[in-house]
C-alpha cells in the first residue's frame, strides 16, 4: 500500500511533534519532513516532493500563503492543506486563491486532520461544513445570482473539466498537465468560464462548484 507522504510546516516545534505523532500512528501516512518557516517549507517541498504539505499560514518569514503559491507553482501535483488557529472566512478565501486545497483549524486537528489529508490527496477540496456554508453565501450579488440561474449548461465539456479541476485546487499548470494542454490554453478556458458564469476569481468558482455539486463526493454537503 502506497502511503501518503506528508510535509509538516509550522513554526511551533511542540505542535509539529504532536502532529508527527498523530500522523505517524496511521499505517497509510508517512511524515517525510518538517519545516519551521514559509521559505523552508518551499525548499523542503521542492526537495521531498510530498503528496501533501500541511502548512501553517501565519509562520514567520515568508508567510504561509506565499509559500502555498510557490509550492503550487513548482509542484502542481502536491496538495497543500492550510492549518491555522484563525477561524476566519477571509483566511479561507486567501488560502483558496493561493491554490490551497483545504483549511483545518488547529483546535480541530485531532478530529478533522486525517479526513482532510485523505480528501485532498485524492484530489478533493476539504472545507469544514460551517466554512462551506459561509463560502456559499459569500459574494452573492445579483449578477452572480442571474448567471447561476442559467446553470453551467452553457459550458462546453472541456470547460466543465477545467472548472472542476480549478475547484479541486489545481493550478493552471496542474490543469494543463492533467488535460495535456498548454498553460495559455487553460488560461483561455478559465477566462471563458468566468465570462459565461459571470464570476471572478477562484473563490467564486469554488463556491459555484459547491452550490452545483460539481466537486467529488467527499465534499461537505450543501445544507
- pTM strictly above 0.75: no
Question: In this predicted model, what pLDDT tens digit does every residue of 160-214 receive, in sequence order?
Answer: 899 988 888 888 888 999 999 999 999 999 999 988 888 888 878 887 887 777 7
Instruction: Tell me what pLDDT residue 62 has.
Output: 58
Residue 169 belongs to a domain: yes
Last residue of a domain, one of 105, 126, 147: 126
Are residue 148 and residue 87 in the same domain, yes or no? no
For range 6-18, the mean pLDDT: 92
The domain that contains 116 carries what CATH number? 3.40.50.2300
Instruction: Tell me what pLDDT residue 140 has.
Output: 52
Are residue 44 and residue 78 in the same domain, yes or no? yes
Q: Structurally, how many domains does the chain consist of?
A: 2
Are residue 18 and residue 56 in the same domain, yes or no? yes
Are residue 181 and residue 146 in the same domain, yes or no? yes
Boundaries of domain holding 91: 4-126
Q: Which of 148, 169, 161 is nearest to 97 (CA)?
A: 169
Are residue 18 and residue 117 in the same domain, yes or no? yes
Amino acid at each position: 500500500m502506497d502511503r501518503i507522504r506528508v510535509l509538516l510546516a509550522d513554526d511551533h516545534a511542540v505542535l509539529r511533534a504532536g502532529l508527527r505523532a498523530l500522523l505517524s500512528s496511521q499505517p497509510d501516512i508517512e511524515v517525510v519532513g518538517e519545516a519551521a518557516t514559509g521559505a523552508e517549507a518551499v525548499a523542503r517541498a521542492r526537495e521531498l516532493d510530498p503528496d501533501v504539505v500541511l502548512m501553517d499560514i501565519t509562520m514567520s518569514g515568508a508567510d504561509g500563503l506565499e509559500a502555498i503559491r510557490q509550492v503550487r507553482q513548482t509542484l502542481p501535483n502536491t496538495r497543500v492543506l492550510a492549518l491555522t488557529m484563525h477561524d476566519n472566512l477571509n483566511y479561507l478565501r486567501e488560502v483558496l486563491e493561493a491554490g490551497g486545497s483545504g483549511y483545518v483549524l488547529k483546535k480541530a486537528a485531532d478530529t478533522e486532520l486525517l479526513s482532510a489529508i485523505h480528501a485532498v490527496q485524492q484530489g478533493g477540496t476539504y472545507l469544514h461544513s460551517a466554512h462551506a456554508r459561509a463560502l456559499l453565501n459569500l459574494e452573492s450579488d445579483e449578477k452572480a445570482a442571474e448567471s447561476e440561474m442559467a446553470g453551467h449548461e452553457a459550458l462546453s465539456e472541456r470547460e466543465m473539466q477545467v472548472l472542476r479541476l480549478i475547484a479541486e485546487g489545481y493550478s493552471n499548470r496542474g490543469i494543463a498537465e492533467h488535460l495535456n494542454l498548454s498553460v495559455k490554453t487553460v488560461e483561455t478556458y478559465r477566462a471563458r468560464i468566468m465570462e459565461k458564469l459571470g464570476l471572478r476569481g477562484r473563490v467564486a468558482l469554488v463556491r459555484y462548484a459547491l452550490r452545483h455539486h460539481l466537486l467529488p463526493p467527499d465534499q461537505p454537503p450543501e445544507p
